Structure 1
Amino acid sequence: MNISIYTLIYQLITFSANFIQQEQQFRQFIKVYNKNYTFNSSEYWHRFTIFQRSIEKIKNLNNQRKHPNSALFGLTPFTDLTLTEFKSKVIKTIGKRYKQRNDVTGSKRLLLSSSQYNGNNLTNQDDGDLSMDKIIKTLPPQVDWRSKGIIGNVIAQGKCGSCWAHTVTETISSMVALETNKFTRLSAQQLLDCSDNNYGCNGGDLCEALNWIVKNNVTLLKETDYPLRLDSGQCRQPNITNGVQIESNFTCHRQTGHEENMLQLIANHGPLMAAADASIWQHYVNGTIHENCGQDANHAVQIVGYNLQDDIPYYIARNTWGTNWGMDGYLQIAIGNNTCDITAEVSAVWIKSID
């Protein structure tokens, strides 16, 4: 009888200590991420309960790490959200639309002509017999377009589900910078307001955005000429003719089973835009995600490089959740196994004109 009483007392003391520690963590979390929760309010305790559950999920994810370079999970700006809230408030992108892309696995389509690479050796899919390992041997072991000064600062999309618009305009901006040696940010707000085959701040689709640009012969304006508001509004037509147009032969395909195409494009062409399943990214801090990631693309990122020399080879992805998330706004996604459905919809663009 005495043993059970002592055990009960020990459990109560342990529970109290854990509760106090977690609440202290929560208060620090509120301060760091500037959350507006009044102490002892119903909202405060509601969010604290979600925070506690998130802590347990983070522990479970970290306990499953199989390598020192595996993704590490921890506190992020989204630790006080349920997964349902995270998907509806942060991701927002209408992911089901990505599933409508034709799967080009095994197709004989030539993605890009070798002439577009100024003599670089791009593998023709018609050759078909080259394995990913053989192709990788022809590529630079590491590529990081950030080092070339053609990647813009990380954007914080806030409550606007604008990842698709930012990913499109940032990638086009990067391709312009590759030609001009100067990065100038193009207007994501123009797409949010004017791309009528998407849903503004409620989400969108990379291919649909590119189709809209090409079919309507759209000139993309500089952000200074069409400023970012991070909401969806009426399409404006500034009296400005200077801007950028893209070629109609952009690529936008599912690359499942053909990640060598993605690597070749990154190495020999430039940054890509890609859809991905970001559900597990809620608690991501650093390292390479290579497991426990979903297969239902619901977000969009810019792929700015890769590293084939790491123990876990990875893509370098630029996100749109600000620099206080992930690795200063970036994350690493494992290469070769369609991790996070990263091959669901992959796009590359070419510049037609710059005025």
Structure 2
Amino acid sequence: MGAGHPQLAVLAAVSTLLFPPCRLDGTSEETRTQFNGSAAAFDSFRAHFRRAYEAEGEESNRRRRLHFQDATKRHAYLNSFSTLPQSAKYGVNRFSDLSQHEFRELYLRASADTAPPFSGLKTQRLPGKFDWRDKAVVATVQNQEACGSCWAFSVVGATQSVRAIGGWRLQQLSVQQVLDCSFRNNGCSGGSTFQALSWLKQTGVKLVPQSEYPYKAKTGICHFFPQSHGGVAVRNFTSHDFSGQEEAMMSHLVERGPLAVIVDAVSWQDYLGGIIQHHCSSKWANHAVLVVGYDTVGDIPYWIVQNSWGASWGNEGYVYIKIGGNLCGKYDLSHFLSRRHLLRLSPVEIRD
């Protein structure tokens, strides 16, 4: 979803402030290596991921087997480029019985808006590595399941992190509230991080804790809260295109907080872990994620990116992307939440 784009970076200001029907978590590294190394028999895959196709008929079972066979061939090709120890590895995971089209339709449903090129100053003497998780301001990895809600997870993730950077207790805010109520977007059928932030700013809607409005992985009817109800509201935001300006992007990450970004994640269907250096274009914006840090001290400098496909995917729910070359298109569309914009208290706070 989404055409060619200049990606954006948003300085958002916050005022107080699947796969059915089986369980997809818990894929151990040992199990994934076994699948990948042995060409992963389809029956073993079904048993491990608890797939039951019988209700869909023999045709469905045959089709899934073909998708699985295509995936194992694709893994061999992708891994042929990974020669360094830290390089990305590709293999069997819970998406391996989906066609590439089905994967895009289910999970890659974010769209992008254009933004002006960044023209500000960058911070000098940046640290060699920086990770907001070390500051305990990044919430745990979530799982969007078979719902195209990545755009909502990205916006909410950035908002709750910047609030925590401002001194409040880190608290998981409601993604379902954004999914149901952001009328500028299409719920599980996809949406724009920019439009979600615009909706929050213009309406003054306060995001409530996830415990008050839990995630259901499907679009529902918007539940409204009275104006006196505590929550976190977006007061302002700014968008920038950071193409070719990775140091400036690092500066914003360090100074302002985790970055909500749009990427091209088509190749992530087969990702198991390591640092992506190939197979990730910047041609299409289709998936929203949260950049929480970077590391430039090793042989391969990389961004640290939180995804919303559960902790069993990738590097415990994270993907590492090589710094340089605009891999995955992560520099063009980055949404920032700034502390100085985010942390004005509303009359009634979220009660911790």
What is the TM-score normalised by the length of structure 1? 0.80
Q: Please give the residue correspondences for 1:309-328 in structure 2 after superposition, counting only pairs within 5 Å.
A: 309-328=297-316
Q: Please give the residue correspondences for 1:71-110 in structure 2 after superposition, counting only pairs within 5 Å.
A: 71-93=88-110, 95=111, 98=112, 100-104=113-117, 108=119, 110=120
Deviations 1:281-305 (A, max 9, x none): 0000111112111221100001111
Q: 2:184 aligns with which of 197, 201, 226?
A: 197
Aligned with 1:247: secondary structure? strand
Task: Give yes or no for the alignment of 1:335 onto 2:348.
Answer: no
State the partner residue of 1:185.
Answer: 172
Q: What is the aligned length?
A: 303
State the partner residue of 1:37.
Answer: 53
Deviation, structure 1 residue 353: 3.0
Q: Do 1:155 and 1:321's aligned partners in 2 also have CA atoms closer than 8 Å?
A: yes
Q: Which amino acid aligns with 1:297?
A: A
Q: Which amino acid aligns with 1:219?
A: K
Aligned with 1:336: secondary structure? coil
Q: Which amino acid aligns with 1:352?
A: L
Q: Which amino acid aligns with 2:130?
A: V
State the partner residue of 2:8.
Answer: none
Deviation, structure 1 residue 174: 0.9
Q: Which amino acid aligns with 1:87?
A: R
State the partner residue of 2:139.
Answer: 152
Q: Do 1:174 and 1:183's aligned partners in 2 also have CA atoms closer than 8 Å?
A: yes
Flag structure 2 segments of 5+ consecutive residues without an equivalent.
1-37
Aligned with 2:71: secondary structure? helix
Larger Rg belongs to: 1
Q: Please give the residue correspondences for 1:206-217 in structure 2 after superposition, counting only pairs within 5 Å.
A: 206-217=193-204
Aligned with 2:297: secondary structure? coil
* CA RMSD, Structure 1 to Structure 2 (Å): 1.9
Deviations 1:157-195 (A, max 9, x none): 111111010111111111111223521111111111111
Deviation, structure 1 residue 238: 2.7
Task: Give yes or no for the alignment of 1:28 onto 2:44.
Answer: yes
> C-alpha distance in 1, partners of 2:204/2:61?
50
Q: Do 2:187 and 2:219's aligned partners in 1 also have CA atoms closer than 8 Å?
A: yes
Mean Cα displacement is larger for which, 187-196 or 234-243? Answer: 234-243
State the partner residue of 1:353.
Answer: 344
Q: Do 1:65 and 1:71's aligned partners in 2 also have CA atoms closer than 8 Å?
A: yes
Deviation, structure 1 residue 103: 4.5
Q: Do 1:77 and 1:324's aligned partners in 2 also have CA atoms closer than 8 Å?
A: no
> C-alpha distance in 2, partners of 1:164/1:48?
31
Q: Please give the residue correspondences for 1:1-355 in structure 2 after superposition, counting only pairs within 5 Å.
A: 25-38=41-54, 41-93=58-110, 95=111, 98=112, 100-104=113-117, 108=119, 110=120, 122-123=122-123, 135=124, 138-180=125-167, 182-239=169-226, 241-248=229-236, 250-295=237-282, 296-350=284-338, 351-354=342-345, 355=349
Q: Which amino acid aligns with 2:141?
A: V
> C-alpha distance in 1, partners of 2:116/2:328?
16
What is the TM-score normalised by the length of structure 2? 0.81
> C-alpha distance in 2, partners of 1:78/1:166?
20
